[in-house]
Amino acid sequence: MCSTRTPYLVTRARAGPRLTFVRAQTTMLAPKPEVLAMPQLSNLAARDVETVLHPNTNLATLPETGPLILERGEGCWVIDSEGRRYLEGMAGLWCTALGYGNEELIEAATAQMRKLAYAHLFGGRSHDPAIELAEKLKEIAPVPISKVFFCSSGSEANDTQVKLVWYMNNALGRPRKKKIISRLKAYHGVTVASASLTGLPNNHTDFDLPISGILHTSCPHYYRFAEPGESEDDFSTRLAAELEQLILREGPDTVAAFIAEPVMGAGGVLVPPKGYFPKIMEVCRKYDVFMIDDEVICGFGRLGTMFGAEAVGYEAQSLTVAKALSSAYIPIAGVMVPEVMYQAMVDESRKIGVFGHGFTYSGHPVAAAVAVKTLEIYARERIVEKVAAKAPRFQARLSRLADHPLVGEARGLGLVGGVEMVADKATKQPFDPKKGVGAQASRFAEEEGLLVRPLPGDTLSVCPPLVISEGEIDELFDRLERALDRTLDWARRERLLAA
């Protein structure tokens, strides 16, 4: 029988950091395959191309470049299948706060698997790890919290936030108060409702999103959107006024909630301008708009405070947590619910007979046990205080990049930063997005042994594990500077810079 699979002739050759392959094409009538010169992939990489559907990836070019296959991790470093080491400059995806190979987290998972590998929370069932985790989250919450609802990802949690806001307003006799305001360039997830909250075109185009009832107000990026001569405080005042105008235009009796990240992550690492959140909160309180704090990236120390909201003066009513909650060792997320929302849900249970929402893995005991241990480590090792102590060095090295000929703005807070590259520093002229400058810079960083992430607007994001040492901070920026230098040379050769 002839196989319909395309065979690969495997070689161990490398081109830069990537493995390469030669692909053989066959037909049933051709006993000798025609060998075409193609980028060569290792056997493992070829198997990946054949079988794995990669998120947030250019699926048209992946077969040509192949994946970077990681095999193991140690502290702030990861090692690929060829043994090459990379400084993990993105903590995976903003999440491996305690780095790789933490034996306490491994043991917590192993012990819980042996004790109770799975249990659910449906129908009033429970278990120790979920109870203890909910208690700890209530204890450290920056605002009063009544209950914690568990799920497996930030997307699920923000989807839940939407449903709970709708549910609450139905219980309160406000069936028209359902619209939810997010912000342009925000990122809140990729499920249907959370992707609608997200304010990035690539997460909407051809997915038929956003859904109705989701609105977007202005992006608080001072560098890009401030008017000439406008101070940060004036810019914040204008954005608050625009939010108020949006609420009045839609009708305050129809606007239910406002959701915001303390620092916008995937939209470009956008730090709010001076006075932004206090002015936004004043508008929301004026029109009884429920405020949601998305702490998926900023929570658990990233900005030098336990919750990012504390660093930027944002006092919301409910919180979304995920990622660093378990240092990403096992998927877990949560919605931290205030008493007013919980009581509305109790009223609905009296009326309907059940709270009809939840997931198979809500409060999974192994994930909850790992999260409990993670929070214990944060407290015992004073991780948040150590981040606050290291942040000035990180931000100083980040700020120095603003002098690079390719960089328009270097911005950040705590241990997170964004480096926006431009075609002309004087005019802030961006590159043509089709030229892929950010992606090229990311590839150069990879060749320098540093993993960063290209974001919209040709911005490179850096978000290392919270346990990074000061020496590793310097190593990170040394490698990033070399990558930027190589990108500048490439952009000049390609004539991408403004004349």
Q: List, for residues 260-305, the tens digit of each pLDDT value.
A: 999 999 999 999 999 999 999 999 999 999 999 999 999 999 999 9
Read off the pLDDT band of 174 (50, 70, 90).
Answer: very high
Q: Return the amino acid letter for 149.
A: F
**Same domain, yes or no, for 243 and 207?**
yes
Calpha distance 491→485 (Å, rounded): 10
Q: Is the pLDDT of residue 38 over 70?
A: no
Specify whether 337 is located in the same domain as 458: no
Query: Is residue 208 one of the residues assigned to a domain?
Result: yes
Q: Are residues 89 and 27 in the same domain?
A: no
Residue 7 has pLDDT above 80, yes or no: no
Q: Are residues 229 and 336 in the same domain?
A: yes
What residues make up the domain containing 91? 70-100+384-493
Kindly state whether residues 195 and 330 are assigned to the same domain: yes
Give the global pTM: 0.91
Q: What is the C-alpha end-to-end distance of the chain, expressed in Å?
A: 61
- Residue 159 in tokens: 């989807």
**Residue 146 placed within a domain:** yes
What's the number of domains the chain is made of? 3
User: Based on the domain organization, do 241 and 146 belong to the same domain?
Assistant: yes
**Does the residue 3 lie in any domain?**
no
Q: Letter for the amino acid at 138?
A: K
Backbone φ and ψ of 45, nearest 5°? -65, -40
Q: Is 1 inside any structural domain? A: no
Residue 390: inside a domain, yes or no? Answer: yes
**Rounded (5°) CA angle 353-355-361:** 140
Residues 89 and 156 in one domain: no
Q: How far apart are CA 149 and CA 231, in angstroms?
A: 41
pLDDT at position 39 = 56
Out of 360, 380, 400, a domain closes at: 380
* Pairing assessment for the beta strands 255-260 and 290-294 based on DSSP bridges: parallel
Would residue 61 count as lying in a domain? no
pLDDT band at 312 (very low <50, low <70, confident <90, very high): very high
Q: Are residues 329 and 373 in the same domain?
A: yes
